[in-house]
Structure 1
Amino acid sequence: MKLSKIPKDMLNIFVHFIGPNPSTSFNPCSICPTVDSSAFIGPFSSVIGDITIKENVFIASNVSIRADEGTPFYIGANTNIQDGVILHGLKNGRVISNGRKYSIYIGEGVSCAHGCLVHGPCKIKDNAFVGFNAIVFNCIIGEGAYISPNAVVTGGVRLPDNRFVPLGAVIDTQQEADALPTLTEAQQEFTRDVQNVNREFPLSYSVLFGSTRCSCGLACNTNNLLNQEY
């Protein structure tokens, strides 16, 4: 059908929320997110509080990134946060990166797959993969690590670089973390494929939804879409 046949109020459906955290006794300063212009935030996602989102980050639909308790958050360049992912942090827990304290620090080229939970204090180093419905909480995930679907990493562990967490495993001691196998070449290739696919999404979705957005988060630039067939 033609978009010109859809009522205009139905065109502005690509809504997300970007705003400051509320002032509380434990977090009295309201701070707005800092989002690079090349990043994309999808429909019905929320980004709240002191959050830094770097270049070419892709945040899919129905994502909740809420720095209203634990704060600040950092999301590095070329990272993808897929549909239904939740980021939140405890008010007292912190990790350290580059000499600064964070509730959640996510490095560059990280993939947080559909439905996973990243809860601070937590640090995920570059090029790691957090699988579907996995939970990472109170831990440090090493560079290039692969966390399988429905797995849990917690207990203050430091997951070494390039380690593989099996499907549904619970890793909550350092001994268990150190005993994990290293990634196979096939697992590394899968991680690279996911990253490469998602690196193309920020620009392409921005073009599709319209590059001009109101402060309310609506994709209002529909002039080039009205006469296209769909």
Structure 2
Amino acid sequence: MALIKSVRGYTPQIHDSCFLAENATIVGEVSLGANCTVWFNAVVRGDVHSIRIGENTNIQDGAIIHCTYQKAKTVIGKNVSIAHGAIVHGCTVEDNVLIGMGAIIMDDAVIRKGSVIAAGAIILPGTIVEENSIYAGVPAVKVKDTSDKMHEVIARTAKNYPMYAEWYK
């Protein structure tokens, strides 16, 4: 069973349809929408500010979701895929976004809908990622617009993770 821990009077609010891997950690002021999945060794730590995650979002193995005390909450939309080892910190991620493996999204950044953050990219504090765009590099910059094919990949990835979770139930 996942570690679900209350802190500072806040208890995570987790929809009944969510899948949490046995060693996932969910702490504090966290809200998970329907059909979210939080995978092995992932941490969603709402101890210092709030974290809101929309439906059908997957937080893959080893990802870290956190925020900044009295400064930056984390808001993640629906149909978002946060890949293995990514760090999403004190920022806003809109709907239908794919964040690649090992990417880092820093405080006060905004990732607009339909976008992709490439594996290993670092989104600096306060960066506004354009809607329907792909950002890559360190620091990340826009490399191109997302294609229809990429939008299909974003949708398919978000759709597949609840199916994968069924294999573990």
Q: TM-score, normalised by structure 1?
A: 0.69
Runs of 5+ in structure 2 lacking a partner? none
Equivalent residues, number: 168
How far apart are 1:112 and its partner, in Å?
Answer: 0.2
- Structure with more of its chain in strand, by fraction: 2
Q: Distance in 1 between matches of 2:147 and 2:10?
A: 42
How far apart are 1:198 and its partner, in Å?
Answer: 1.0
2:104 is aligned to: 135
Kept in 1: contact 2:87–2:103 (CA 8 A): yes
How far apart are 1:189 and its partner, in Å?
Answer: 2.3
Q: Output the amino acid matched with 2:6.
A: P
1:192 equivalent to 2:155? Answer yes
Kept in 2: contact 1:58–1:201 (CA 8 A): no
Kept in 1: contact 2:99–2:117 (CA 8 A): yes
Q: How many percent identity over aligned positions?
A: 26
3-state DSSP of counterpart to 1:50? strand
1:160 is aligned to: 130
Q: Distance in 2 between matches of 1:142 and 1:180?
A: 15
User: Structure 2 matches for 1:64-79, cutoff 5 A?
Assistant: 64-69=43-48, 71-79=49-57
How far apart are 1:19 and its partner, in Å?
Answer: 1.2
2:59 is aligned to: 81
1:126 is aligned to: 95
Q: Distance in 2 between matches of 1:77 and 1:196?
A: 11
User: Structure 2 matches for 1:15-54, cutoff 5 A?
Assistant: 15-21=1-7, 29-54=8-33
1:107 is aligned to: 77
Which has the bigger relative contact order, CA under 8 A and spacing at least 6?
Answer: 1
How far apart are 1:180 and its partner, in Å?
Answer: 4.5
Q: Distance in 2 between matches of 1:185 and 1:20?
A: 42
3-state DSSP of counterpart to 1:118? strand
- For the aligned residues, what is the CA RMSD? 1.5
Q: TM-score, normalised by structure 2?
A: 0.93
Q: Distance in 1 between matches of 2:159 and 2:146?
A: 18
Q: Deviations over 1:15-69 (max 9, x none)?
A: 3100112xxxxxxx32100000001111211100010111000111111111112
3-state DSSP of counterpart to 1:193? helix
The higher radius of gyration belongs to: 1
